[in-house]
A and B are shown apart, each in its own frame.
Chain A
Amino acid sequence: MKAINIIETAYRATIEEQDDTIVWITHAMKGAGAELDVLLRANAVNYAVKGQDASGLSFGAVTQTQPPRLDEDVQKLVGKGVDVYIVEEDLADRGIEPSTLVDGLKTIKKDSVAELISGYDYAWHW
């Protein structure tokens, strides 16, 4: 069985969770033996931009010590053998240059997404 996680909702409680919950669950399921790939679309394409820095949060004397590192978490998915696709038009709409992205991503045109998904048993849209 092979599935693809389509991540669209971005930066949802990433500060409190110190990661993206769907990137995280992909790591966790991959670690449990799942055959999973990822498609980043809409605002979630920003997760792949290198050098994001969410550090510096504090409330009174309490400082966050482990801010989310979303670009690194995406890069680690690639390192674990997860195919991470990213929608080319969604990058262009946001003015994101491919040269600013983490390595190893597979760009895909919007009109090829349906064909991509057809190669999986399940497509889970988050």
Chain B
Amino acid sequence: MADQKTLTFAIMDAPYENARSTTALRIMNAAARRGYDINVFAYEGAVGLPFKKQSGHPNAVHVHDIEEEDHPLPHKWIEALMREAEKNGGSIDWVNCGLCVDERGVAEAVEGVRRGTPGDFWKMAGASDNTLVIPTR
């Protein structure tokens, strides 16, 4: 594809803590729909986003059982993003900062997530058309 773009994202926010996580994934979703190649460097709390042990729950305040509540699980969103990218001829290379993973005990990530270092972010940025950093505030 002549106009195949490669974008790199660096993200920092943990799941269930800030709207920035959802916003970052929405931007990636838009890129995935266009068939772009997407690199993600998940740093600090963001390494928890693809943690596959996240699980749904019922919600008594909402008066929902577990099925009705259908609680969002970021790792499911990331799996869907990966499928969307592949369907449109792109890809997602998701790198979790390894030391950040160890600190948090969240090594069990969804398929397609690999362990890496800040050096991976540097290399990905150098091979991309553009880079977007979405830090914790």
Give residues in A with beta carbon < 8 Å to B: 11-19, 24, 27-28, 31, 57-62, 64-66
Pairwise interchain contact A16-B22, C-beta atoms closer than 8 A: yes
In the assembled complex, the Cα of A17 lies from the Cα of B62 at a distance in Å of 11
Q: Top 7 nearest A-B pairs by Cβ distance?
A: A60-B84, A60-B80, A62-B80, A59-B77, A27-B61, A59-B80, A65-B70
In the assembled complex, the Cα of A64 lies from the Cα of B21 at a distance in Å of 15
In the assembled complex, the Cα of A14 lies from the Cα of B21 at a distance in Å of 11
Nearest-neighbour CB distance to chain A for B26, whole angstroms, equals: 8
Kindly list chain A residues whose C-beta atoms are within 8 Å of the C-beta of B74.
Answer: 16
Pairwise interchain contact B61-A19, C-beta atoms closer than 8 A: yes
Nearest-neighbour CB distance to chain B for A30, whole angstroms, equals: 9
Kindly list chain B residues whose C-beta atoms are within 8 Å of the C-beta of A27.
Answer: 61
Kindly list chain B residues whose C-beta atoms are within 8 Å of the C-beta of A13.
Answer: 16-19, 21-22
Contact of A31 among B19, B25, B61, B71 (CB under 8 A): B61
Pairwise interchain contact A18-B69, C-beta atoms closer than 8 A: yes
Pairwise interchain contact A16-B72, C-beta atoms closer than 8 A: yes
User: A65 — nearest CB in chain B belongs to which residue?
Assistant: B70
Kindly list chain B residues whose C-beta atoms are within 8 Å of the C-beta of A59.
Answer: 25-26, 29, 77-78, 80-81, 84
Pairwise interchain contact B60-A31, C-beta atoms closer than 8 A: yes
Please provide the chain B residues from 50 to 92 with a CB less than 8 Å away from any CB of chain A in the complex: 59-62, 64, 68-72, 74, 76-78, 80-81, 83-84, 87
The reply on B15 being an interface residue by CB < 8 A is yes
In the assembled complex, the Cα of A27 lies from the Cα of B62 at a distance in Å of 10
Pairwise interchain contact A66-B62, C-beta atoms closer than 8 A: yes
* Contact A60/B29 with A16-B15, A66-B69 known, Cβ cut-off 8 Å: yes
Kindly list chain A residues whose C-beta atoms are within 8 Å of the C-beta of B87.
Answer: 60
In the assembled complex, the Cα of A31 lies from the Cα of B61 at a distance in Å of 9
Pairwise interchain contact B62-A19, C-beta atoms closer than 8 A: yes
The reply on B32 being an interface residue by CB < 8 A is yes
